[in-house]
Structure 1
Amino acid sequence: MALTGTSMTETGGVRAGYGVIEGPEPTDDMPSEVLPEGCHTIVLGVGDLNGILRGKRVTAEHWRSVRRRGISLDNTFFAMDVGSLLVPNDYSAADSGYPDLNILPRGPLRPIPWEDGVWMCLGRAQEKTGEPIPLDPRQPLLRAVEKARSMGLEPRAAGELEFYLLDPATGRPRENRPECYGLARAAELEPVLGPVRRNLAAMGVPVEQSNPEFSAGQVEVNLRHAPTLEAADHTLLLRGMIKQMVRPMGLVASFMAKPFHDRSGNGFHVHHSLWRDGRNAFATDGGLSDEGRWFLGGLQAAMRESSLVGSTHPNAYRRRKLYSYAPTSASWGVDNRTVALRVIDGEDAADDPIVRIESREAAADCNPYLLMAVQLAAGLKGIEQQIEPTRPTEGDAYAADNRRRLPTDLHEAMEAARASAFLEEALGPMMVDLLIRNAERELEIVESEVTPLELARYLEVM
């Protein structure tokens, strides 16, 4: 359950909001050789298959060498599961000897405000020969962005992520009473969320707003629109850095899709738009343009077969319940939170900058690069092939007779992914194979476990 924040100012008769304020273009260029004053440590990391930051901490004395040569990691880490075990794959197989790959610094150095003298830099993965890594989740998004640019379009995106703040001793929220959007609860959370917002801003991650969410202990943080590559970086950093920030405060931040059966799941909503010559290509007189409608049609057409990308683990499918604010069908509508694809439009041409499409299907624990890559590729295919969406859903999508049902479990999502030529084209066959193998492992682990609920229900009475 999320509201979209937009800073609105009048500029030449057109409201400036989503997508108009330009941030620095994401770059693979090396950061400066000269470190900020007082810097003694640089954190260099990238996101793995599950969007977990992995890398190394580098001393300032070693920075010049790392800037030139990168750091070396064995070639298994992109294919690690959530338990840091290697998921079998053809790239990092034992017969290769698990050789090194290189992570080179890219983009700006970012301060880590809660660690004095420590700065951070995201990395660019490559082989020793300079070739890209086929299992690097950022590669499909780079290709999708390049495709958009070849069509004369600049993609922009913004993430909204939900998560729980938990007591590490109990693994449960400390609050029992939900206060969705409650300002009293927001004030109680400010000693935690205030530093989170300010620290992320200092790191160049543009947070627009935060609020208590639908369930007790659940919060949401909304990011500002940015070029799509940068938006994925922002999401990766938000997840990784929030977890680090709240630990010293005596809390655990969990983006797990559905940690509690009796509370809301955690979603990852992505707002998309495409820009041409400084104008929103999705918009015409405040409504959805032809290109925007076709992009929507592409998203809708690919949603079922792409489900594995946004809901990677068995637990994620527990989110998909009726009246849960998580969609159960590949439906769309205008400003409708019961659908999977929510169109946000305006009243007239002055509102063109805010017109966008919000995809609400994914879980908060998926990989942001892979998710945005698949969604952008699907939308661009929609434009190329002029794919028309279905009729919009008006009112309750949960009650509608919608034949475009989304997978209800990981078995079903894997079947759809295996049959998808689109997914193989968007991500590459090796990445799709890794996602499926990872899902198979997670299913095996979860389905072989005897749960506490089963013991409590059956052990004594049977």
Structure 2
Amino acid sequence: MPEFIDTNQSPISIAHALAGRGIVGVTIAWFDNNGIVRSRIVTTEEFASVARKGVGVAAIFPVFDTHDTITAGFEELSRPSGDFRVLPVLETLAPLAGQPGLAWAAARQLDRNGDPWPWDARAVLTRQVEAAAELGLTIRAGYEMEFSVFAPDGGPSPAESGAAYSGRALVEVDDFVRALLKDLRVNGVAIGQLHAEFGKSQFELSLAAVDPVSAADNQLLARQTIYAAARTHGLRVSFSPVTRENNPGNGWHLHTSVWRDDVNLLSGDGPHEMATEGAAYVAGILRDLPAVIAVTAPSEASLLRRRPGFWAGAYGFWGVENREAALRYVQGGALLGAGNANVELKPSDASSNPYLALAVVIGAGLAGIADELAVPDPIGDDVGGWSEAQRSERGVVALATDASAQAAALADNDRVRAVLGPQMYGAFAAVRASDAAWAEGKTTAEIVDAHLWRY
């Protein structure tokens, strides 16, 4: 976070500090149940009051679907009545380098009495972090964010003339790349690397591993930063899981590790070079994978992205450094150190709410530890090339590629639903049903086009 804003001050002092630096408004942002960023901008003059009391938002926001239809499928939020309050999380406050005059903060949500709002995804994640702490565990998390760059009219960008993973693709948009790296640094978002990806004019940005709530906050701020840098340099960005038919989609690969007493449990002398508890954490995520991905990659576009051979995690298995596996175990080693070991979830993308995505991953992993699960042997092959008999022998099943199967996987999993809580699950399921109804009869091209600029 930029050092020149001391968020330990009172809200009035923070507002004065913002105004003194020419900032006229603060964007307060949150993710909805479709991974879409919703926001309010408040003036600097009103910031101190909003920091204490929040700004009112209609209670039906948890049941907005991807296409801004307000579904009545969840009875508790089926009427146009009610309100909740959105307050800035002061420690996330960041003046925006790419949007001079504006600052940004992640949101927390309360009801009008100041009590927790049941549909606050940030609070859902916080509960899982606290559950881990009660067991003496901490979680670290980071995202790899893939995105596609277009010309302002949505046509090909200059980067398309470069080969996959090439330096030329970056050179063609180097003004944008330079500004983006600078803006991320000024905005306080630490990254590991940026590179051209496999798809046409596709890039990947890796966020540094931090605590889970900060990881989700950083993803939210990184989106804002990328959008602004692209616009400034005459480009347009899409994070949609699928941006073109028959082209690799954009994943937001979710990396987590589990620690006890500053020791990474995903590195050790136990099964497959993990500590026993670390292996159980991986086994827990693997056990609940069909329900987990209903939250981490929930949209109709997510279902299109989930194809064998595209490193999107089409089958439910794990492997050591296997990029076709839905769960990829990344080892440490002598060069990188034990702290580098983590497990990567491939079926994860920008249509997920990252607070909910992290919550269900952590919840599944903690359940695996509690149940002392043993992880099966890893698979090093591309199982898409196996016969059905071979996959059946190893217990490998295809993950859902239709909305009804994905919804059923979540509905049938008590553990993952418990992480969400009944009210959050009810709204989330209603939104997914609304999206599925919208998609009926739509062609692949129509689904791709409808999601392209949602993200």
* TM-score interval (norm. to shorter): 0.7 to 0.9
Q: CA deviation at 1:267?
A: 0.7
Q: Structure 2 vs 1, CA of residues 91 and 244 (structure 1 numbering), >3 Å: closer, same or farther?
A: farther
Task: Render the CA deviation track for 1:136-190: whole Å, top value 9, x for unaligned.
Answer: 2222211111110001111110000111112242455555455222112222222
What SS does the aligned partner of 1:306 have? Answer: helix
Which 5+ residue runs of structure 2 have no aligned equivalent? 448-455
Name the counterpart of 1:343. Answer: 329
* AA of the residue aligned to 2:246: D
Partner residue of 1:90 out of 75, 78, 81:
75
Partner residue of 1:389 out of 362, 375, 378:
375
Q: Structure 2 vs 1, CA of residues 116 and 236 (structure 1 numbering), >3 Å: closer, same or farther?
A: closer
Distance in 2 (CA, whole Å) between partners of 1:453 and 1:206 is: 36
Name the counterpart of 1:13. Answer: none
**Structure with the higher helix share, 1 or 2:** 2
Task: Render the CA deviation track for 1:323-344: whole Å, top value 9, x for unaligned.
Answer: 1111111211111111111111
1:102 equivalent in alignment to 2:85:
yes
Give TM-score, length-normalised by structure 2. Answer: 0.87
Name the counterpart of 1:405. Answer: 398
Partner residue of 1:376 out of 341, 362, 367:
362
CA contact (8 A) 1:281 1:289 kept: yes
CA contact (8 A) 1:178 1:214 kept: no
Name the counterpart of 2:294. Answer: 308
Moved more, 159-168 or 278-287: 278-287
Distance in 2 (CA, whole Å) between partners of 1:201 and 1:140 is: 28
Name the counterpart of 2:32. Answer: 48
Distance in 1 (CA, whole Å) between partners of 2:446 and 2:42 is: 45
Moved more, 70-79 or 213-222: 70-79
Distance in 1 (CA, whole Å) between partners of 2:333 and 2:258 is: 19
1:152 equivalent in alignment to 2:136:
yes
Distance in 1 (CA, whole Å) between partners of 2:128 and 2:309 is: 33
Task: Render the CA deviation track for 1:263-284: whole Å, top value 9, x for unaligned.
Answer: 1111111111122222223221
CA contact (8 A) 1:178 1:215 kept: no
* AA of the residue aligned to 2:398: R
Matches within 5 A, 1:132-281: 132-173=116-157, 175-177=159-161, 179-281=163-265
Q: Structure 2 vs 1, CA of residues 93 and 444 (structure 1 numbering), >3 Å: closer, same or farther?
A: closer
Q: CA deviation at 1:32?
A: 4.4
Distance in 2 (CA, whole Å) between partners of 1:29 and 1:410 is: 45
CA contact (8 A) 2:159 2:170 kept: no
What SS does the aligned partner of 1:238 have? Answer: helix
Q: Structure 2 vs 1, CA of residues 171 and 413 (structure 1 numbering), >3 Å: closer, same or farther?
A: farther
Identity between Structure 1 and Structure 2 (%): 27
Q: Structure 2 vs 1, CA of residues 439 and 31 (structure 1 numbering), >3 Å: closer, same or farther?
A: farther
Name the counterpart of 2:451. Answer: none
* AA of the residue aligned to 1:90: E
Q: CA deviation at 1:240?
A: 3.5
Give TM-score, length-normalised by structure 1. Answer: 0.86
Q: Structure 2 vs 1, CA of residues 211 and 76 (structure 1 numbering), >3 Å: closer, same or farther?
A: same
Q: Structure 2 vs 1, CA of residues 173 and 317 (structure 1 numbering), >3 Å: closer, same or farther?
A: farther
What SS does the aligned partner of 1:363 have? Answer: coil
Task: Render the CA deviation track for 1:360-381: whole Å, top value 9, x for unaligned.
Answer: 1212322111111110100011
Name the counterpart of 1:77. Answer: 61
Name the counterpart of 2:306. Answer: 320
* AA of the residue aligned to 1:186: L
Distance in 2 (CA, whole Å) between partners of 1:126 and 1:453 is: 37
Name the counterpart of 1:121. Answer: 105
Q: Structure 2 vs 1, CA of residues 78 and 249 (structure 1 numbering), >3 Å: closer, same or farther?
A: farther
Moved more, 104-113 or 34-43: 34-43
Distance in 1 (CA, whole Å) between partners of 2:435 and 2:63 is: 13
* AA of the residue aligned to 2:228: Q
Moved more, 204-213 or 389-398: 389-398
Query: Number of residues paired by the alignment?
Result: 427
Which 5+ residue runs of structure 1 have no aligned equivalent? 1-22, 455-462
CA contact (8 A) 2:33 2:431 kept: no
CA contact (8 A) 1:333 1:392 kept: yes
Distance in 2 (CA, whole Å) between partners of 1:168 and 1:59 is: 29
What SS does the aligned partner of 1:361 have? Answer: coil
What SS does the aligned partner of 1:162 have? Answer: strand
What SS does the aligned partner of 2:347 have? Answer: strand
Name the counterpart of 1:18. Answer: none
CA contact (8 A) 2:280 2:369 kept: yes
